[in-house]
Chains A and B, each alone.
Chain A
Amino acid sequence: MAIFGLWVINKAGGLVYQRNFGDGLPGLTSNEYLVLAGTLHGIHAITSRLSPTGSSSGAHVIEGESFKMTIFLTATGTKFVLLTSPVEPTADSVLQKVYEIYADAVMKNPFHTPEMPIRSEVFDTRIAALIK
């Protein structure tokens, strides 16, 4: 029951926000995070094509042995990725709330350029308050 990190990936596969919580996972350099986000973007597209039956969404939950990633894709193509411990029942609702905060603190901000890295203090503090 722990949240390790949050990524926001724009519709082109660029990482626009990345933050770690706690020390459950080792930190990587920002370059490595960018590469991983790009890879995830590609994998997400391929997974929707591999469906054995009918049309499918992209990967929703990816599990490793010590953590899982929950991916939430918005209608506009932005992806919110939450890294949590393997048993974390609240991951989906946390992502939903992150999306609400993103809409309020980022998208409604007239000084924010879409698809560019998120540098907003309000977003930072509200995310910190949500994930404790």
Chain B
Amino acid sequence: MTIYSLYIYDRHCACVYYHDWHRTKPPRVANEGGGILPAVSHQIYPRKDGAALDTNPRNTLMSSSGIIVAVNDEVPRTPLPGATQQVPANAGLPFDEEAKLVYGVVLSLRNMVKKISGKDEGFVNYRTSTYKLHLYETLSGYKFIMLSDPNADSLRFVMRQIYAGPFLEYVVRNPLTQMDSKESGIDNEYFRTSIDRMIRGLSVFN
């Protein structure tokens, strides 16, 4: 039993948040110009050349002392041609494509379920041999999508908790957050850490 990932989409179909945990097939870094907003997730945002500037020890400013720590570069500063992007052998799709596919599947299923039932009812989840996708949609059009182990029970209540807890607290009630900006994802470390803590505390996580 485990939880693989969480996606949050706003009502303009843009992915505003992404977080993953036990993925053995991680997504590749998004293509530049793929339409992924900044701050959705650091690990998949397209890097500028001279990859991973932030993690370069030369740029590390010690918060306590204010001294720039100079350390030998472990990675060559000019990457060898052909080795600019290291792709693990088991890597999945680039993230921008994956985000679009997830949204497309969920939207089509939602419309299909509405059509078949003839009522205004939503799609809840689907299951394949290796994972289960859960959807929770808020009245304001935000979609919370979670991927978990196929045997997990419904995770609607977890996504509702994320919405009612960290999301309202650190995003909606945060005057510095631009909702619906179409320019940036949810850029808030409190939000990220509290979601991480919440998910890791679940009984289905391990």
Q: Chain A: residues with CB nearer than 8 A to chain B?
A: 25-26, 28, 32, 36, 39-40, 42-43, 46-67, 69, 83
Contact A25 B20 (CB under 8 A): no
Q: Which of A28, A64, A83 has the most B CB atoms < 10 Å from its CB?
A: A64
Counting chain B CB atoms within 10 Å of each CB, the highest count among A42, A53, A66 belongs to: A53
Q: Which of A50, A58, A60 contacts B98 (CB 8 A)?
A: A50
Distance between Cα atoms of A62 and B127 in the complex (Å): 7
Cβ distance A51 to chain B, nearest Cβ, rounded Å: 5
Measured CB to CB, the closest approach of chain B to A69, in angstroms, equals: 8
Binds A, one of B105-113, B161-169, B187-195: B105-113
Q: Which of B92, B102, B109 contacts A62 (CB 8 A)?
A: B109
Residues of the A chain whose Cβ atoms lie less than 8 Å from the Cβ of B129:
56-57, 60
Interface residue count on the B side (C-beta < 8 Å): 36
Interface residue B42 (Cβ < 8 Å from any Cβ of A) = no
**Closest Cβ neighbor of B5 among chain A residues:** A52
The answer for the CA separation of A79 and B131 in the assembled complex, in Å, is 20
Set of chain B residues within 8 Å of A63, measured between Cβ atoms: 123-126
In the complex formed, the residue of A with least CB distance to B134 is: A63
Given contacts A43-B112, A66-B119, 17 further A-B contacts (CB under 8 A): A25-B117, A40-B112, A43-B105, A43-B108, A47-B105, A50-B101, A50-B102, A50-B147, A52-B5, A53-B22, A55-B130, A58-B128, A61-B126, A62-B126, A63-B124, A63-B125, A64-B124
